[in-house]
Amino acid sequence: MNKRRAQYYIFTIFSLWFGSTFSCNATAVNRVDQIQVVTEPLPPYQIVKEGEVQGLVAEKVRKLLRELGSDSHIRAMPWARAYKTALTEPGTLIFSMVRTPAREELFHWLGVLVSTKTYLIALKKRDNIKLNDLEGLINYKTGVKRDDVVFHYLSKKDVLSKAILLPDTITTVKMLLRGRVDIIAASPIHLDYMCSQIGCKSSDFQFLLELDELSSDFYLAANKHMSPELVDLITNKLKKLAN
């Protein structure tokens, strides 16, 4: 009887210890020093150079970390891996994330880091190009990157009768500068970055029409197990940096 009672006590103590340990592991992350930050290479927002993540948005996040007193490093990895890390590991921040209905309940949305707007663009010197709506594209040679979001969007609108399919976005800019296409699609931020690579200026271009459905905000988001207090702290710091 005493032996059984002793075994019962041992089992009870072990159960309490195991439950406490499991509970601690599942507890919401509530300290700045528990934060880790992940992203993907996405020029010009995130650019990996010699192992360090740089770029327009990365610098904003790094400044935020300094304001928080965090010495966390920004780690760049393929998007699928970064997304899974943010989804499954408490204390993870992720950027640059587009906020969608499917993702809404999966993360804490801490704030917008940068807004992107996509425009149809022509050379400024081509003052003969007039575009009041998408239907007008049928009159012009449009350079689009094969199978990207712009290509699929304009294809669904059935306005790419004179489309020239190109391998990447920077090639669309080069073709526009050479007069091989009349119109391309890009965001001002991307255009500035590409001009820095190939030697043009944003003032060389005219913005004809915004593609509203392709414009979006890039967010800083957090794993759902981050505590409300830490979420509020980061959100408020980010708001102050934006002002």
- pTM, two decimals, is 0.67
pLDDT by 10-residue block (mean), the chain, 243 residues: 48 40 47 91 88 93 95 92 94 92 94 93 96 95 87 91 88 95 92 90 95 89 94 95 83
Euclidean distance between CA atoms 237 and 243, whole angstroms = 10
Whether the link from the prior residue into 202 is cis, omega within 30° of 0, is: no
Euclidean distance between CA atoms 37 and 146, whole angstroms = 32
In this prediction, residue 31 carries a pLDDT of: 84
Euclidean distance between CA atoms 233 and 226, whole angstroms = 11
Euclidean distance between CA atoms 67 and 16, whole angstroms = 39
In this prediction, residue 22 carries a pLDDT of: 35
In this prediction, residue 101 carries a pLDDT of: 85
Euclidean distance between CA atoms 34 and 59, whole angstroms = 20
Closest by CA to 231, choosing from 56, 20, 34, 42, is 34
Euclidean distance between CA atoms 99 and 238, whole angstroms = 17
For the chain, what is the HEC assignment? CHHHHHHHHHHHHHHHHHHHHHHHHHCCECCHHHCEEEECCECCCEEEECCEEECHHHHHHHHHHHHHCCCCCEEECCHHHHHHHHHHCCCEEEEEEECCCCCCCCEEEEEEEEEECCEEEEECCCCCCCCCCHHHHHHCCEEEECCCHHHHHHHHCCCCCCEEEECCHHHHHHHHHCCCCCEEEECHHHHHHHHHHHCCCHHHEEEEEECHHHCEEEEEEEECCECHHHHHHHHHHHHHHHC
In this prediction, residue 5 carries a pLDDT of: 53
- 130: tokens are 């007039």
Burial class (CB in 10 A: 0-12, 13-18, 19+), 225: middle
**pLDDT, tens digit, for every residue of 12-35?**
444 344 333 333 344 556 688 889
In this prediction, residue 27 carries a pLDDT of: 52
Domains and CATH numbers, the chain: 28-114+216-242 (3.40.190.10), 119-214 (3.40.190.10)
- In the numeric block, the tokens 């904003």 are attached to 60
